[in-house]
With several copies, the nearest count.
Chain A
């Protein structure tokens, strides 16, 4: 039950999540991106857009923009750090679990959508996947 969990907040919103929220990495736009896509989570107003520049099958540059809660923005920032320099093939294998474990915190069901929004943008947009399995959550 809640009410007993006092003091765990610091753990929940770990330092580096707050850091990524306040100082997002790779924030901004790419002038002539190979792919660009934006999605919102209408339920809470989170927005994330991602620009990708691909060269020789490798993610040469990546930038994101958006607004919303710490989870959605930090998760986007973390994702861009991870993907930059990866081959597209490798990047395509990134899944929900990777994103969640990278956040390293216990995301409650109602917040899963926030955490996965940036991955959704990448998959649904940049990689043109029609349906996004992450929808099943939350």
Chain B
């Protein structure tokens, strides 16, 4: 295994952390980590090691290199189990990312358990990946969707949520953190209340897992989906965690190699968890890379990461607020993850993005896959800066300068 960088041993220091990420040699101020993160050498090395030393498929073969590959592949499963504090690694399913995880639940759990007239509760903060699968399921089954609204600060209206829970929803689905405006939802309390109301609960952890971490047993939900590529891992690997009893009662999602016990012309028996849900050749190198990313995050310490992001976020909110005509969406910094979504009077977010890009600042403009929220906020799009372990104040300074320049141009 590539030896771990010394970063982890020292008190957290983003300037040092940054050195582990080859991308920063480009000089770009990367402010789009809520979209996808950069990846440290530790992760790239883990994948290269696979490609160079034990490149082979997993589970299927009895020769040595394949056994090493299998061990590493399954090693990630155990690392994930530890990272999210799941009861068993059997509950940890490899997916391409959050979207596949949610779709898996919508197909395999939803089509079996949701019936006409059933209520599905979601929130206006959700990412399209946690909206559209339920719209489709509702349309197919005749179930009803109800949305929890937000208040003026972009925080969920809990009294409305509780009123909806009285209608005994079959499923409640919510994000731990909003990718669009950074709201940290009171997920634990909401899950608790939903469970008491008898609902099955899915938590979209796409932003939660990378920035806050999670203890799925403490959180109390039934399903938890997240993406490796947003937490320093490679593209192509993500995780769905589910409670064993639920996963066992579900039909497979995709079918094919590796998810079977025995295939006969007359019919097929399926493999036990977790392989039942991993049909076909998986993203072996990427799963191994995800394991390395988790190792790296654990080395930094999730609390350090959250604290660092809070600092940067506070700094960014203050600095941006000083610009005239700039309006920030979402809650105060105490209930906000490392995301600052804003609009600048008179400059469309896309124009702003183009101009700051010419200053070497990568700023996201758009609806952030949260169109219902944009409509609710009554904006066509926002500009969004999002932060991670490697973000430094200089990145924020460059953003502020670039925005000021755009204001000069558009004045």
A-side residues, CB < 8 A to B, are: 1-6, 8-10, 12-13, 18, 42-46, 67-71, 108-111, 114, 135
* 6 CB < 8 A contacts A-B: A3-B359, A6-B358, A44-B349, A44-B380, A70-B348, A108-B62
Q: Is there an interface contact between B380 and A67, defined as CB atoms closer than 8 Å?
A: yes
Q: Is there an interface contact between B359 and A2, defined as CB atoms closer than 8 Å?
A: yes
**Cβ-based interface call for B64 (8 A):** yes
**Cβ-based interface call for B143 (8 A):** no
A8 to B244, CA, bound (A): 42
Minimum Cβ distance to chain A for residue B59 (Å): 8
Q: Is there an interface contact between B409 and A13, defined as CB atoms closer than 8 Å?
A: yes
Chain B residues near A1 (CB-CB < 8 A): 26-28, 64, 360
Minimum Cβ distance to chain A for residue B407 (Å): 11
Query: B26, B355, B371: which contacts A3 (Cβ < 8 A)?
Result: B26
Q: Is there an interface contact between B360 and A42, defined as CB atoms closer than 8 Å?
A: no
Minimum Cβ distance to chain B for residue A10 (Å): 6
Q: Is there an interface contact between A5 and B358, defined as CB atoms closer than 8 Å?
A: yes
Q: Is there an interface contact between B355 and A12, defined as CB atoms closer than 8 Å?
A: yes
A80 to B381, CA, bound (A): 26
Which residues of B in the span 140-185 have a Cβ within 8 Å of any Cβ on A?
Answer: none
Additional A-B contact list (20), CB under 8 Å, known A6-B360, A42-B260, A110-B63: A1-B27, A3-B28, A3-B360, A4-B360, A5-B359, A6-B359, A9-B405, A18-B410, A42-B261, A43-B366, A44-B349, A44-B350, A44-B380, A44-B381, A45-B367, A67-B380, A68-B380, A69-B348, A70-B351, A110-B66
Query: A18, A71, A135: which contacts B409 (Cβ < 8 A)?
Result: A18
Chain A residues near B355 (CB-CB < 8 A): 9, 12-13
Minimum Cβ distance to chain A for residue B18 (Å): 15
A62 to B348, CA, bound (A): 25
Q: Is there an interface contact between B61 and A110, defined as CB atoms closer than 8 Å?
A: yes
A43 to B367, CA, bound (A): 7
Q: Is there an interface contact between B28 and A69, defined as CB atoms closer than 8 Å?
A: no
Known A-B contacts A13-B355, A68-B380, A108-B62; the reply to A2 vs B261 at CB < 8 A is no
**Cβ-based interface call for B20 (8 A):** no
B-side residues, CB < 8 A to A, are: 26-28, 61-67, 70-71, 260-262, 269, 272, 348-351, 354-355, 357-360, 365-367, 371, 374, 380-381, 405-406, 409-410
Known A-B contacts A3-B28, A44-B381; the reply to A109 vs B67 at CB < 8 A is yes
Q: Which residue of A has the minimal Cβ distance to B70?
A: A109
Q: Is there an interface contact between A69 and B350, defined as CB atoms closer than 8 Å?
A: yes
Chain A residues near B272 (CB-CB < 8 A): 135
A108 to B269, CA, bound (A): 26
Centre residue among B71, B348, B381, B409 by max chain A CB count within 10 A: B348
Q: Which residue of B has the minimal Cβ distance to A69?
A: B348
Chain B residues near A3 (CB-CB < 8 A): 26-28, 359-360
Chain A residues near B70 (CB-CB < 8 A): 109-110
Q: Which residue of A has the minimal Cβ distance to B62?
A: A110
Q: Is there an interface contact between A111 and B354, defined as CB atoms closer than 8 Å?
A: yes
A51 to B272, CA, bound (A): 27
Q: Which residue of A has the minimal Cβ distance to B269?
A: A42
A71 to B406, CA, bound (A): 14
Query: B358, B374, B380: which contacts A2 (Cβ < 8 A)?
Result: B358
A3 to B359, CA, bound (A): 5
Minimum Cβ distance to chain A for residue B49 (Å): 13
Q: Is there an interface contact between A68 and B348, defined as CB atoms closer than 8 Å?
A: yes
A21 to B63, CA, bound (A): 21
Chain B residues near A111 (CB-CB < 8 A): 62, 350, 354
Q: Is there an interface contact between B350 and A71, defined as CB atoms closer than 8 Å?
A: yes
Chain B residues near A108 (CB-CB < 8 A): 62, 64, 67, 354
Minimum Cβ distance to chain B for residue A53 (Å): 29
Known A-B contacts A2-B358, A69-B351; the reply to A45 vs B409 at CB < 8 A is no
Q: Which residue of A has the minimal Cβ distance to B53?
A: A1
Query: A5, A8, A13: which contacts B351 (Cβ < 8 A)?
Result: A13
Chain A residues near B349 (CB-CB < 8 A): 44, 69
Minimum Cβ distance to chain A for residue B36 (Å): 16
Chain B residues near A12 (CB-CB < 8 A): 354-355, 358
A6 to B260, CA, bound (A): 35
Minimum Cβ distance to chain A for residue B93 (Å): 17
Minimum Cβ distance to chain A for residue B383 (Å): 12
The 7 A-B residue pairs whose C-beta atoms are closest, nearest first, are A45-B380, A3-B360, A69-B348, A110-B62, A3-B27, A42-B262, A2-B360
Chain B residues near A2 (CB-CB < 8 A): 27-28, 63-65, 357-360
Minimum Cβ distance to chain B for residue A120 (Å): 13
